[in-house]
Amino acid sequence: MPASLARRRAIIVGAGQSGLAVAAALSAEGLQPQQDFVVIDAAAPGQRSWSSRWHSMVLLSDARHSALPARRHPGDQRLHPRVDEMVGYLKVVEAAIGVETAWGVHVTGVERRGDGSTLHLSTSVGEVQTRNIVCATGAAAYPRLPKWSTALSVPGVAIHSSSYQYPRQIPTRDVLVIGGGNSGLQIARELAGSHAVTLAARTRRAHRPLVSYPSAAGRHRPLFGGELRPEPVFGDSYERLQQAGVRMAPAVTHARGGAVTFADGTTASPGSVIFATGYLPGDDWFPDEARIRGPRRTTTPLPGLFVAGFPQYSRRGVDTIAGVSADAAAIAHHIINRP
């Protein structure tokens, strides 16, 4: 086990926006990075998840509402940052806080033995003991694919949106995008200029313009409320996509060979398929007892194990770069006040 991970008051697992938000909150409470707490991440040096997003992707919120309290975005605050700008921004935040992330460290489990206050964190570099662990591995850590996806065989490519980069990646003239959320709409819009696109959506989501919403008090409301309704779509709309030539279809219910069947009973044989079907959370290394979710905001039934940026453990919107700061402040408060 590297000496840099031993005998620290807290270990933050994940160096993305949530992990850096917690690091900033702990620093604000007087804790020193590397000395009192460390940040670890399974990725190669500097390769945060933003690095793998498609090239033209932009954030749903403008720069003013896409920043951590530790540092604002440079430039025009009304613009919506691109993914490469987010990568650069998080590097700047990391340096401003003074965090030296330990990259390439995979976490495989955590447990408390007996009635003590020490947690045992199993990692690819050995077991680490600490009193506080923060899971900041992301509410969207692993691609979610429908069960029937393994039965699908197309002449082109069948990939999750996490693997999509640019239109030339799709070799066939026609492509089926599955998923009516913001990722599905953004990808369908980009492909519409060069491909025959069909967008399959389970439900038509509410549409909101891609702007900020000032409240009567002069403050800005979060993009997402606390209710459990599907995330609205921003900027683009289904109607505009149809005007751009995108064909709309109901949800895909199953597939066999090269054919997919839609909810209305019709079928199609797409050349390529992109699954914009969401993600699974990065809490797979938790013991079952810690996955009990409910009104425990940022805490788990395992004392000393905290979660940042997961709506399942907190509230809607904390998986956004603006929303995670509330989680981070709460976790820092818990850690500082733990006996």
66-118 pLDDT per residue, tens:
888 878 888 888 887 888 888 888 899 999 999 999 999 999 999 998 777 89
Query: Which residues, other chains included, contact 106 with Cβ-Cβ below 8 Å and sequence gap of 6+?
Result: 42, 123, 124
Residue 9 CA to residue 209 CA, distance in Å, equals 44
**What are the tokens at 287?**
């013991």
Residue 87 CA to residue 31 CA, distance in Å, equals 25
CATH topology of domain 8-139+280-335: FAD/NAD(P)-binding domain (3.50.50)
Element containing residue 243 per DSSP (H, E): helix 238-243
> At 143, is the secondary structure helix, strand, or coil?
strand
Residue 90 CA to residue 133 CA, distance in Å, equals 21
| pLDDT confidence of residue 55 | 72
Per-residue confidence of the chain (339 residues) as pLDDT tens digits?
455 687 899 999 999 999 999 999 999 999 999 999 999 999 998 778 766 676 777 777 788 878 888 788 888 888 878 888 888 888 999 999 999 999 999 999 999 987 778 999 999 999 999 999 999 999 888 999 999 999 999 999 999 999 999 999 999 999 999 999 888 999 999 999 999 999 999 876 555 555 443 333 333 334 333 344 556 556 678 888 999 999 999 999 999 999 999 999 999 999 999 999 999 999 999 999 898 766 668 999 999 999 999 998 888 888 888 889 999 999 999 999 986
What is the DSSP code (8-state) at residue 299? Answer: B
| pLDDT confidence of residue 205 | 58
Give which of 50, 80, 69 is closest to 235, Cα–Cα.
80
| pLDDT confidence of residue 209 | 54
- What CATH architecture does domain 142-273 belong to? 3-Layer(bba) Sandwich (3.50)
| pLDDT confidence of residue 208 | 56
| pLDDT confidence of residue 54 | 67
In contact, 35 and 4? CB cutoff 8 Å: no
Site of tokens 């033209």: 56
Give which of 333, 282, 332 is closest to 16, Cα–Cα.
282
Pure H helices in 98-203:
182-191
Query: Cα–Cα distances in Å, from 94 out to 71, 90, 321?
Result: 10, 6, 14
In contact, 302 and 334? CB cutoff 8 Å: no
**Domains 8-139+280-335 and 142-273 fall in the same CATH topology:** yes
The strand pairing partners of 129, in sequence order, are: 120
As a whole number of Å, the end-to-end CA separation of the chain is 26
> At 162, is the secondary structure helix, strand, or coil?
helix
Hey, where are the domains in the chain? 8-139+280-335, 142-273
| pLDDT confidence of residue 137 | 94
| pLDDT confidence of residue 293 | 63
Give which of 279, 283, 18, 304 is closest to 136, Cα–Cα.
18
